[in-house]
Amino acid sequence: MNDFPVDSELDWVLVLAPFRKDADYVAAFLREQKIEVKAAKVDGELVEHLALSPGIIVITHEALNPQVIVRITTHLAEQPDWSEVPIIVLLERTAPIERIRNQLLTSWPGSRLLFYTRPIAPLELVNGIQSNLLVRLRQRQVRDSIERERELRLELNHRVKNILASVTSIFQMTRRGATSVEGLTSDFAGRLQALSNVHSAVFEAGGEEVSLSAVIDLTVSPYNSAGVSRIHVSGPDIVVSRDAGTAIALCLHELITNAIKYGALSHPYGHVDLLWSVAANGSSELSLSWTEIGGPAVQEPTRQGYGTRYVRSALGSLFGTVPEIIFAPGGFRLSVSGSLSRMSAQK
């Protein structure tokens, strides 16, 4: 028994041998080598067999009539660019081999033609067929590689467009709330860094989902440095979609920026508790809270800033419920909850 690799698309041979018992003879010793064989008569049955895309065609001299040649020519013309069908032609020693070769090369340009003269040893024919089935396998592997490359290019193009759309949206968001060039530059750079952090986390995760813990750690880590933890985080390790991770990271960046300017992080001893949890009652509800402690006394602003409006809108859209925002004297608080399924990669 040989160790030839079996592939459902490649492991069968179409034999066209109308005279005597040639087809049965060829099929018998190919099947001994675990190679699937189909024999077709030189009539309408040939079209049906060709439609099944044989890995190799074996054809005897007697089958080379004009009708068969035309039908195989049509079949070859329908092959994709990557396909070069191996055709093994079994000729009589007395046949005008050169003339037949030239005719078939002209009629079947999209094939890989091989000629054998009869009588031929079974082992020689089997080896030739196995070698060409391997060639056919390599052709299909090249095809698959080209298709994967094409899919990767399309995916890259799609992702680049999405990133550019996100950057444009972030810039417009920042520009509308800016009061100076310096402020625009600083806020825009910070938001881009938050977006970059999420993409880094997604890349490391290797898929469309990302660890929420990773997103949060990457977002808050620049503010927990030199051994001082100003933002305390706690929550289970769950995964969310890339879009959900991006939205949460951008919202956290807004909350951090506000806390640095006006809230708990503006005071040397102030800190933030950032907590998230999943309900244990089987409802799979995700809750997230932001609580500022130890900062200056808080007064509710007379008008809502753009950052607050963005956080309210983005988290409301993501969680499906409007977040609760409280400007308590002891510290700013935000909480929101919603179905965890809304944050998954497949909604």
ω into residue 119 within 30 of 0, thus cis?
A: yes
Full DSSP string of 269-307: T-EEEEEEEE-TTTT-EEEEEEEEESSSPP---SS--HH
**Percent of the chain's residues with pLDDT above 90:** 18
- Cα(245)–Cα(201) distance, integer angstroms: 9
What are the strands, taking DSSP E only, across the chain?
Answer: 12-16, 36-39, 56-60, 85-92, 111-118, 209-211, 231-234, 239-241, 271-278, 285-293, 324-328, 331-339
Higher pLDDT, 44 or 50: 50
**Percent of the chain's residues with pLDDT above 70:** 84
Quote the pLDDT of residue 42. 65
Quote the pLDDT of residue 2. 43
Looking only at the bridges linking them, the beta strands covering 324-328 and 331-339 are: antiparallel
Q: Which secondary structure element, helix H or strand E, spans residue 200, and what is its range?
A: helix 181-205
Higher pLDDT, 50 or 155: 50
Quote the pLDDT of residue 147. 84
SS3 call for 52: coil
88 pLDDT above the threshold of 60: yes
Mean pLDDT, residues 90-116 taken together: 87
Instruction: Tell me which amino acid residue 305 is.
Output: G
Q: What mean pLDDT is reported for the chain?
A: 82
Higher pLDDT, 90 or 306: 90
160, with CB counted inside 10 A (0-12, 13-18, 19+), is: exposed
Could you tell me the domains of the chain?
12-144 (3.40.50.2300), 178-343 (3.30.565.10)
219 pLDDT above the threshold of 50: yes
In this predicted model, what pLDDT tens digit does every residue of 162-209 receive, in sequence order?
Answer: 567 667 756 765 676 678 888 888 878 877 876 777 677 666 766 678
Confidence band (pLDDT; 50, 70, 90) for 247? confident
pTM attached to this predicted model: 0.51
- Cα(110)–Cα(96) distance, integer angstroms: 22
Q: Which of 30-39, 111-120, 193-202, 311-320 has the lowest mean pLDDT?
A: 193-202
Q: Which of 48-52, 93-97, 199-203, 322-326 has the lowest mean pLDDT?
A: 199-203
Q: Which of 70-84, 95-109, 169-183, 317-331 has the highest mean pLDDT?
A: 317-331
- Cα(303)–Cα(267) distance, integer angstroms: 23
Centroid of chain to Cα 97: 50
Quote the pLDDT of residue 1. 39
Instruction: Tell me which amino acid residue 227 is.
Output: G
- Cα(151)–Cα(163) distance, integer angstroms: 18
Quote the pLDDT of residue 178. 74
